[in-house]
Amino acid sequence: MANKAQEVGGIQFPFPYVPYSIQKDFMTELYQVLEAGKIGIFESPTGTGKSLSLICGALSWLRDFEQKKHQEEALVLETGTVSLNEEKAQPLPHSSSCQDTTDTLRPAGEPDWVTQFVQKKEERDLMDRLKEERVRKEKREDRLQLLRSNVQLKYAAKRARKEEEELESLLRLSREMLAPGAGNEQLESGEEDLVLAEYESDGDTRAACGVDEDEDDLEEEHVTKIYYCSRTHSQLAQFVHEVQKSPFGKDTRLVSLGSRQNLCVNEDVKRLGSVQLINDRCMEMQRSKHEKKSRAEEEKPKRRRQEGRAACPFYNYEQMQLLRDEVLVEVKDIEQLVALGKGARACPYYGSRFAIPAAQLVVLPYQMLLHAATRQAAGIRLQGQVVIIDEAHNLIDTITSIHSAEVNGAQLCQAHCQLLQYMERYGKRLKAKNLVYIKQILYLLEKFVTVLGGNIKQNPNTQSLSQTGTELKTINDFLFHSQIDNINLFKVQRYCEKSMVSRKLFGFTERYGTVLSLTREPSKLTGFQHFLQSLQPGVTAAPPAPVEEGEHRVLQPSSPLMHIEGFLAALTTANQDGRILVSRQGSLSQSSLKFLLLNPAVHFAQVVKECRAVVIAGGTMQPVSDFREQLLACAGVGAERVVEFSCGHVIPPDNILPLVVCSGPSNQQLEFTYQKRELPQMMDETGRILCNLCNVVPGGVVCFFPSYEYLRKVQARWEQSGLLARLAIKKKIFQEPKRANQVEQVLMGYSKCIKCCGQVMGTLTGALLLSVVGGKMSEGINFSDDLGRCVVMVGMPYPNIKSLELQEKMAYLDQTLPRAPGQAPPGKALVENLCMKAVNQSIGRAIRHQKDFASIVLLDQRYARPHTLTKLPAWIRDHVEVKATFGPAFAALRKFHREKSGPS
């Protein structure tokens, strides 16, 4: 594609083709938000080239920013002096540390010579920093240029790698031959790894993990960069491909980050399956490597067997340096990065992390950015950087789910039993501090089970609870009621992290089997394990790749203690920001404790505080009041710092027909409230409306229902009344499956049917897809062209108002947020916004490119309310027609589709 550089308002925007006018507006507004250091909420409908606008707008700003910075630094180095007053007015953008001043700390009335001395020292320090940075930058550019131009370098590195592997193999063989017999050790072979290492005092600094002390290259200054986040790895890969095709594809230093589960190339570790197990095994292997290095002199013959403890063969610093440079030389997605790591026998997870400081664009799942501990572990520094969060329509829900945690009675009992057996086995070998913390954890587990109404010593599957029901508690009330308010949970949490007790426990149960000898019913253990296997909450990680059942014996959920650690961490949240949901069901194994985060802003506040600018973008961001109030205002962001931008669609106005239909063919008023929607006449009227639509709409019709249960009842009613048979005359009927692995099969059948009907002119004119709001088809599926000529929304999909969680969230917002005059209470507004967000996501499945066309039919008179209409995306809202009766609505639909498709 030719580079069509566009100049808008004096700014050059390289672009692969002549952009739409809305793309020019988008890039200009984005540039200004980044330059001014604001928070931007950007809405650009699917099909309007949002990704390219983000890439070209943001990287154009970064290009100009780097040029200005380079010119300012060159001027300083050339003149050899800098005015600190000027520097404070327009600080050099290379480092936040350069902006720190000591003027405010100096006492009044200092002698002039002291002031001059301090000023001269600051100038010298700044000059030294600039010179050091320039040297580092030149070295980096030389390395990357060498890689670009000299292919032989890669082959030489591969040869050296092979020689190292052969030498290591010989050394290992000689060690095995010279190793003495097992001796009289009390522990079995390999069992040393299961014993907890001595736990240092709580105040000790954490040992460096993953890098050696002499690896000073990793101290490289973090250049100003853009962190781009999206929901899934497939969306990130698509974004990387867009960067590769853009005018910036050749010159941008881009690194893709992912979890160990996505990037690990060590098959022995990857086979563990669970994200937490892979993380712990990897960290243990790094720790093993560094312990070996530091203890090589001390422990010569004593623990020779322990030398066989695996340090990861892919964790080779020289090879990871080469991998880091190859990542920076050319834009690569996750799959290319993994392939490169396998070829180089270097770890892509650590290699990509090493590339972060020098990268200009870092691409990562937004779970990795939004979770502080994960962010820190990945080496992500947000100070003074730019963050772009794409596909952000469910950002609030994501933050809430990442920081929520749930444990059930079965997990609590199993963790207690495993930990008790572990302590009995190794108690004499454990130091006092380890024993103290293990006993505290056992006490916590016992008290959690007691709160649920169970007995820790009995099988949770067979324990029936005398009291059932659900109750909400504040964190402090829960701690007090559980009788654990005297335990320092911060210390327990830190102990779990540093000692890796859950990993040791998993190794112990893996070795000896999950034997619940205390339950008196060991025969039920297999079913118990299967039950636990179905309980992977997975709320703290990026969406994991699906694992085939029975693929490998160790592809099990991580040990129950790992899940419980997440719950313990959640209990350290401030009392006002969360609640505990105590759910007591029929048996203890089905009962659970769930932490519910009420204030997602508490975790987002650090991001907006540290970053230079934050951009929240999506195809459908309406209603934006949630972002403004729940996320930004609660995070302390002033209204003057927030910029909203919403652009129209690229389609001509007459390519869309949005209708609000208030009554059906038999004049039945359409209001699908909980009280009325299951009335037979309402279900029949919906069927008659669809029959009429299917007669005039060509191709595919997608109809969304509020829930699976309501869809099932409607279908049963239609089958009984004969409406289903009438519908099937014009359209073949498909239904959204509940199981995710069947979605593709249904979509292929739906697509194939529409294609065949378009080629063969018969009675059947296409297909009807019955879907569910919030289901598999309402997000991320592309119903372009004939696949979605009409989208129908049956009723308003309000969330369950009886849900305790929702009620608590509403109450929290009513107490926290101010109520604007003439506006609904914040809690009620939340319910309305949740409904309309779901509607907007569903109806946004249609119209995916400039020449596409579709009708959108909203079946409920409540959509005609002015405050509801304002929550629709502007490109739909501006063209909505409200039809009080069905006749005019049907006439408008018939006319629209006749004109667009020709006579049907």
Matching residue, tokens 């440079």: 325
**pLDDT reported for residue 886:** 92
**What is the rounded distance in angstroms from the CA atom of residue 61 to the CA atom of residue 30?**
9
More confident residue, 99 or 328: 328
Examine the pLDDT at 525 and tell me if it is beyond 70. no
Using alpha carbons only, what angle is made at residue 737 by residues 731 and 739, rounded to the nearest 5 degrees? 165
- Which of 203-217, 219-233, 455-469 comes out lowest in average pLDDT? 203-217
Q: What percent of the chain has pLDDT over 90?
A: 27
Examine the pLDDT at 149 and tell me if it is beyond 70. no
Assign 536 a pLDDT band (cuts: 50, 70, 90).
very low
More confident residue, 127 or 345: 345
pLDDT tens, position by position, 277-287: 788 788 777 76
pLDDT tens, position by position, 224-263: 899 999 988 888 888 999 999 899 988 889 999 988 888 8
- Which of 205-214, 257-266, 498-507 comes out lowest in average pLDDT? 205-214
Assign 798 a pLDDT band (cuts: 50, 70, 90).
very high
Assign 41 a pLDDT band (cuts: 50, 70, 90).
very high
Task: Look at the chain and count its residues.
Answer: 904
More confident residue, 26 or 529: 26
Q: Report residue 306 as tokens.
A: 């322990």
Examine the pLDDT at 305 and tell me if it is beyond 50. no
**What is the rounded distance in angstroms from the CA atom of residue 700 to the CA atom of residue 757?**
10
Residues 326 and 147: beta-carbon distance below 8 Å:
yes
**pLDDT reported for residue 285:** 79
**What is the rounded distance in angstroms from the CA atom of residue 260 to the CA atom of residue 320?**
15
b/e string for 778-800 if b means 16 or more Cβ within 10 A? bbebebbbbbbbbbbbbbbbbbe
What are 753-762's contacts with CB under 8 Å, separation 24+? Answer: 754/699, 754/700, 754/786, 754/787, 755/786, 757/699, 758/698, 758/699, 758/786
**pLDDT reported for residue 292:** 54
Examine the pLDDT at 295 and tell me if it is beyond 60. no
Examine the pLDDT at 294 and tell me if it is beyond 60. no
Give pTM, 2 decimals: 0.80
SS3 856: strand
User: H or E stretch including 6?
Assistant: strand 6-8
pLDDT tens, position by position, 569-585: 999 888 888 999 999 88
Assign 516 a pLDDT band (cuts: 50, 70, 90).
very low
**pLDDT reported for residue 289:** 60
More confident residue, 487 or 162: 487
Q: Give the chain's count of helices (H) and strands (E).
A: 33, 20
Assign 35 a pLDDT band (cuts: 50, 70, 90).
very high
**pLDDT reported for residue 843:** 86
Going by DSSP bridges, is the β-strand pair 226-230/386-389 parallel, antiparallel, or unpaired? parallel
- Which of 229-233, 297-301, 464-468 comes out lowest in average pLDDT? 297-301
Q: Across all residues in the chain, what is the average pLDDT?
A: 79
**pLDDT reported for residue 818:** 83
Mean pLDDT, residues 347-356 = 90
Please spell the DSSP secondary structure of 755-801, one letter per residue. HHHHHS-SS--EEEEEEETTSTTSSS----GGGGSEEEEES-----T
**What is the rounded distance in angstroms from the CA atom of residue 206 to the CA atom of residue 209?**
8
Examine the pLDDT at 88 and tell me if it is beyond 90. no
Examine the pLDDT at 67 and tell me if it is beyond 60. yes
Please spell the DSSP secondary structure of 709-733, one letter per residue. HHHHHHHHHHHHHTHHHHHHHHEEE
Strands of 790-794's sheet in order across: 731-735, 766-772, 699-705, 790-794, 854-859, 656-661, 881-883
**pLDDT reported for residue 114:** 65
**What is the rounded distance in angstroms from the CA atom of residue 613 to the CA atom of residue 451?**
45
Quick one: which of 460, 467, 466 has its CA closest to 410?
A: 460
SS3 754: helix
CA distances from 158 to 153, 154, 165, 344, 747 (A): 9, 6, 11, 7, 46
Please spell the DSSP secondary structure of 220-232, one letter per residue. ------EEEEESS
Q: Which amino acid is at 38?
A: K
pLDDT tens, position by position, 599-623: 999 999 999 999 999 999 988 888 8
Mean pLDDT, residues 708-714 = 92
**What is the rounded distance in angstroms from the CA atom of residue 835 to the CA atom of residue 806?**
13
Say if residue 51 is exposed, middle or buried (CB neighbours under 10 Å; 0-12, 13-18, 19+): buried
More confident residue, 294 or 272: 272
**pLDDT reported for residue 192:** 66
**pLDDT reported for residue 272:** 81
User: H or E stretch including 692?
Assistant: helix 680-696
Examine the pLDDT at 110 and tell me if it is beyond 70. no
**pLDDT reported for residue 165:** 61
Examine the pLDDT at 664 and tell me if it is beyond 60. yes
pLDDT tens, position by position, 677-695: 999 999 999 999 999 999 9
Q: What percent of the chain has pLDDT over 70?
A: 76
**pLDDT reported for residue 46:** 77
Going by DSSP bridges, is the β-strand pair 766-772/731-735 parallel, antiparallel, or unpaired? parallel
More confident residue, 893 or 540: 893
- Which of 236-240, 678-682, 710-714, 755-759 comes out lowest in average pLDDT? 755-759
Examine the pLDDT at 89 and tell me if it is beyond 50. no
